[in-house]
Amino acid sequence: MRVPGQTGIQEINPINKIIYRANTILVLLLVILSFGCFDLHSQNFPIYPIPSYNTAVDGYADFMNIHSSPPQNNKDRRQLIVHMKSANGPNQPCQATIWVYCLDLTTILGPYSLACGETLSVPIDERQWGVMVESTDKVIVDVWIEEGGSKSIQGMLPDSDPHSFPLCKVDECFANFTR
């Protein structure tokens, strides 16, 4: 604090020096940690078609219903089904977070928490949908769509190549992924 008529810099109280240094260190730690969080955004994760069965997921995976045909009747109810089990064998615990979203990102449902052996069933409309799976455990995931209460499965066209889906960076594919 400057006093009128005084020139030069006033000496800082020793306690204020300690607080200043602690604040500086805290800010530097926050900057370093925030750059570490951006590491996730530079990682690629695979994109799989819907339907997909016995798909190994380690970290993140995305499933997209790109090759869907419109429902035969707009009143038909469709269910997007996600089933998960552990990749480490039966009776092994695992957990995943699931988001179900419309590919135009106008509708995002979730997050849902899914444990091993559980099945998630989400009613969807005629739009194209996707599923984002995040798990710290290695899991095996099945994703498919059932039409109108029947067991008919909707998904890729017969001549589609399921391996033609590109890898996607999290920040590119989900830059607008907000609730």
Report the C-alpha gap between 35 and 55 in whole angstroms: 31
Examine residue 3 and state whether it is found in any structural domain, yes or no.
no
Instruction: Please answer whether residues 103 and 66 qualify as being in contact, where contact means their C-beta atoms are separated by less than 8 angstroms.
Output: yes
Examine residue 163 and state whether it is found in any structural domain, yes or no.
yes
Identify the CATH number of the domain in which residue 62 sits.
2.60.120.1300
pTM: 0.60
Do 64 and 128 sit in the same domain of this protein?
Answer: yes
Do 84 and 159 sit in the same domain of this protein?
Answer: yes
Distances (CA, A) of 79 to 50, 69, 90, 107, 129: 12, 15, 26, 15, 11
- DSSP label at residue 173: H
Do 52 and 18 sit in the same domain of this protein?
Answer: no
As to burial, measured by CB atoms within 10 angstroms (0-12 exposed, 13-18 middle, 19+ buried), residue 118 is middle
Strands 52-64 and 47-49, sheet pairing? parallel
Examine residue 5 and state whether it is found in any structural domain, yes or no.
no
Do 107 and 52 sit in the same domain of this protein?
Answer: yes
Residue with tokens 């499933």: 63
pLDDT average, residue stretch 118-136: 94
Do 87 and 33 sit in the same domain of this protein?
Answer: no
Structure confidence by residue, pLDDT tens digits, 137-171: 999 999 999 987 554 444 433 333 333 333 344 44
Examine residue 28 and state whether it is found in any structural domain, yes or no.
yes
Number of domains in the chain: 2
Structure confidence by residue, pLDDT tens digits, 9-35: 556 677 777 776 666 665 544 555 555
Do 26 and 114 sit in the same domain of this protein?
Answer: no
* Structural domain harbouring 18: 12-42
